[in-house]
Amino acid sequence: MIEIKNINKSFGERQVVKDVSFSFYPSKTNLIIGESGCGKTTILKLMVGLHAVDSGEILYNGVDFLKRDRKAQQEIRKEIGMLFQGGALFDSQTLEENVRFPLDMFTDLSKEEKNDRVNFCLQRVKLEGKNALYPAELSGGMKKRASLARAIANNPKYLFCDEPNSGLDPKTSIVIDELIKDITQEFKITTIIVTHDMNSVIEIGDNIMFVHKGENWWTGNKSDILNTSNKELFDFVFASSFMKTVFKGSGK
């Protein structure tokens, strides 16, 4: 479980995260949603320590991440997997080498055991047989799946996903969503997803925080969100005519 308590972050004069608190639960897909530029990716980066927090607490199973020194933070990070928006695969390495990388760095597994684990992860994200391809040879959806395979290679306790559906067609988006949901439940991972994709929200939103102007504006789950009376959330959810037609037009 991860808890964030009263976190604040400013870039210069501009405060982008304002007193945000929320709890992210294991075996659930925890979503941070909001408009572009509302501060949701910043919250994600604060949680993993890529940005320094101005004030507040970030607790990983009760351990305050921010009060640890750099080495202790590195130890916590070994339990984190992250799917980046652009994949962030290492260009100079093949798909297999990318997925094996965390195993090479942090485990003493034999070569055969590593190969088995790599093949298992690639199979899990439906990329079996693509071991020798380089990132430049992969499509956008394949890159995301490869990034997911690398993220789960070392059996993480926490999985962070930054816009996993951005730039993907609806069909591939659903594949990625289902993969994340299955992996979350199968390995009992605490998964945090930053997204503004409403399909994802409706499909996999177990525990949702809506961020508006850097604040935690609303919390709930995928059922609550469709019946919200919160004006800003309503405007966000039903901004597209598709959502209006499907959920409001049908009287849901």
Q: How far apart are alpha carbons 194 and 122 in whole angstroms?
A: 23
What letter does residue 165 receive in the DSSP assignment? T
CB-based burial of residue 177 (10 Å sphere; 0-12 exposed, 13-18 middle, 19+ buried)?
Answer: buried
From candidates 77, 114, 213, 222, binder to other proteins by CB under 8 A: 77
From candidates 7, 82, 179, 192, binder to other proteins by CB under 8 A: 82
Q: How far apart are alpha carbons 1 and 61 in whole angstroms?
A: 5
Task: Work out how close the CB of 62 gets to other proteins at its nearest, in angstroms, rounded to a whole number.
Answer: 19
Residues ≥6 apart with Cβ < 8 Å to 23: 1, 2, 3, 207
Residue pair 230/239 in contact by the 8 Å Cβ criterion: no
H or E element, residue 196 = none
Asked whether position 164 contacts other proteins by CB under 8 A, the answer is no
Report the residue number, 75 or 235, with the smaller CB distance to other proteins.
75
Asked whether position 11 contacts other proteins by CB under 8 A, the answer is no
From candidates 4, 17, 46, 89, binder to other proteins by CB under 8 A: 89
Asked whether position 49 contacts other proteins by CB under 8 A, the answer is yes
Report the residue number, 78 or 188, with the smaller CB distance to other proteins.
78
Asked whether position 138 contacts other proteins by CB under 8 A, the answer is no
Asked whether position 105 contacts other proteins by CB under 8 A, the answer is yes
